[in-house]
Amino acid sequence: MQINASLVNDRLNTPATSLTGAAGGLVQVSDNDYINIGINSGYALDDRTDLYFDYTYYRADNYIDNSSKNLGYGAGATENFASLVLVRRVNENLVCTFKYAYADSNDDPSAGVKNYTAHLFYGKVQYRF
């Protein structure tokens, strides 16, 4: 099993953020903070069968809706991805692979227009000469 995580705290600041008057609020501090977590695991069920599991989580909460003065900007998303893979070596020449994956993405800047949930079913038969 492997677990990895990263927490990024990133900020871009410019003197333009302190402007006042008609230009006030046009440029804001740009944050690009996010968290990313991944879990990967594999298990040999027997001498010919392996099972693999992967999970990834991503979250960025930096979106600023500045549309009253300018374009909204910044990343704002939550994503989950999980997959399960079964590999069966029937004999030394024939390998069968079956995979199921699930993905869910929520995109804040698009107000939900780019949100999606997806299921993937995948099968492969490989014959080695």
Residue 111: CB atoms within 10 A of its CB come to: 10
pTM: 0.81
Contacts with 103 (C-beta within 8 Å, 6 or more apart), sequence order: 79, 80, 81, 116, 117, 118, 120
Residue 85, pLDDT > 70, answer yes
Question: How many domains does one find in the chain?
Answer: 1
**Per-residue pLDDT tens digits for 12-70:** 777 877 778 877 777 777 788 999 999 999 999 999 999 999 999 999 998 877 777 77
pLDDT tier at 72 (50, 70, 90 boundaries)? low
Q: What percent of the chain has pLDDT over 70?
A: 99
Average pLDDT over residues 89-95: 97
Looking at per-residue pLDDT, the higher value among 26 and 82 belongs to 82
